[in-house]
Amino acid sequence: MKAAVLTFPGSNCDADLLWAVQEIAGQEAALVSANTEDLTGFDLVLVPGGFSYGDYLRSGAIAKFAPVMGALKTFAANGGYVLGICNGFQILTEAGLLPGALQVNTSLEFICEPEPLIVANHQTAFSNQYAAGQTISLPIAHGEGNYYADPETLASIEAHQQVVFRYAENPNGSLNDIAGLTNEAGNVLGMMPHPERAVEALLGGTDGLGVFESLIAATKGAVHVAN
């Protein structure tokens, strides 16, 4: 698997993602500037967490205009795998690659803590190494992770089984406890929790490894992924 880790000015989890994919999952990966307009040759594009362009306006609102976004849309339209984490999730919703939006947490505060999650759909490119209904623990670290979509969109998301991870103890007010969801085609996932922060026992857990292992299996065509 060859992964591109996008770097926007203000991204701060790009190096962490690179470390997780390269050093821990043992895959080929490269940091790719958001000024790039070409993503050919990659199997997976990772959109990292952080505060792209400072996020002073609204999370991801500036990043959606970055030069790379056109290439990213083409990449996704051609079925390439895209994983946005935290600010990456916010960018993907702003760019229209995923439905809905992420609002300020109901507590109005930034929250950093490990969060129990339920694997709501284990038949995706991003979750096939987990068991159905498995509870895992991943850290969250965000101020704007409160997922919102209008009732019609939400019904469609549920009907198409796009929710991959749900909070067991909703920390931020997300509708339907949504912590991570795919597009309808199933090749783009956005999630607020940080799987790349849970890949080493020394740092407190390895529950996030499954996301990367699932993608390795999916890019090899080793698993059947329901779309």
Partner 1 sequence: MLQTEPTPEQIRDQKPYLQLGLTEAEYALFTKRLGRLPNYTEVGLQSGMWSEHCAYKYSKPILKTFWTKNERVLMGPGEGAGVIAIGEGKAVVFKAESHNHPSAVEPYEGAATGIGGIIRDIFSIGAKPVASLDSLAFGTRFDAHNQNLIDQVVAGIGGYGNAIGIPTVGGEIQFDASYQDNPLVNAMCVGVMDEKDIQRGQAAGVGNAIIYVGAKTGRDGINGASFASAQFSKEEDADRSAVQVGDPFMEKLLTDACLAVTQKHQKALVGMQDMGAAGLVSSSAEMASKAGFGMTLDLDLIPQREPGMTPFEIMLSESQERMLLCIRTGFEQEILDLFAGYDLDAVVCGRVEAGHQYRLLHHGAVVCDIPVGLLTDAVPTYTTTPKQPARLAHPAPDFTPTITDIDQTLRALLALPNIASKRSLFKRYDAQVQTNTVIAPGGDAGVIRVRGTHRALAMTADSNGRLLALDPEIGGAITVAEAARNLVATGAEPLGITDCLNYGDPSKPEVYYELQASAKGIVEATKVFNTPVISGNVSLYNETSGVGIHPTPMIGMVGLITDLDAITTVAFKQAGDVVFLVGATGDDYNGSSIQYLQNGAYAGRLTGFDLTQEKAIQDKMLKAIQAHLVNACHDLADGGLAAALVEMGTANRLGIKGSTALSAAQFFAETQGRFLAAVPPAQQAAFAAQMGKDAVVLGTVSDGEFVLDLADAKLDTTIADLAAIQEEALAWQLK
- Choosing from 4, 47, 53, 130, the residue that interacts with partner 1 (CB under 8 A) is 53
36 is an interface residue for partner 1 by CB under 8 A: no
- State the catalytic residue, choosing from 113, 144, 194, 213: 194
> Which amino acid belongs to residue 221?
G
Residue 113 C-beta: closest distance to partner 1, Å: 5
- State the catalytic residue, choosing from 94, 115, 144, 196: 196
* Strand ranges for the chain from DSSP E: 2-7, 28-33, 44-47, 81-85, 101-103, 111-119, 135-142, 146-148, 163-167, 178-182, 188-191
113 is an interface residue for partner 1 by CB under 8 A: yes
116 is an interface residue for partner 1 by CB under 8 A: no
Q: Which is nearer to partner 1, 185 or 203 (CB)?
A: 203
Q: Active site includes 13?
A: no
> Which amino acid belongs to residue 34?
A
> Please, are residues 195 and 211 in contact by the beta-carbon 8 Å criterion?
yes
Secondary structure class of 160 (helix, strand, coil): coil
Reference 169, options 158, 157, 177, 160; nearest CA is: 177
Q: Which is nearer to partner 1, 122 or 194 (CB)?
A: 194
Q: Active site includes 160?
A: no
Structure-token pair, residue 174: 């997300």
> Please, are residues 48 and 13 in contact by the beta-carbon 8 Å criterion?
yes
- State the catalytic residue, choosing from 86, 94, 115, 142: 86
205 is an interface residue for partner 1 by CB under 8 A: no
100 is an interface residue for partner 1 by CB under 8 A: no
CB-count exposure of residue 218 (10 Å: 0-12, 13-18, 19+):
buried
End-to-end, the C-alpha distance of the chain in Å comes to 21
200 is an interface residue for partner 1 by CB under 8 A: yes
137 is an interface residue for partner 1 by CB under 8 A: no
61 is an interface residue for partner 1 by CB under 8 A: no
Q: Which is nearer to partner 1, 50 or 186 (CB)?
A: 50
Stretch that binds partner 1, among 63-71, 150-158, 174-182, 202-210 (CB under 8 A): 202-210
Residue 168 C-beta: closest distance to partner 1, Å: 17
* 49 CB-side CA count, 13 A: 19
**β-pair type (2-7, 81-85):** unpaired
Binding site for partner 1 (CB under 8 A): 9-10, 12-13, 15-16, 19-20, 49-51, 53-56, 109-113, 139, 141, 143, 194, 196-197, 199-200, 202-204
**Enzyme catalytic residues:** 86, 194, 196
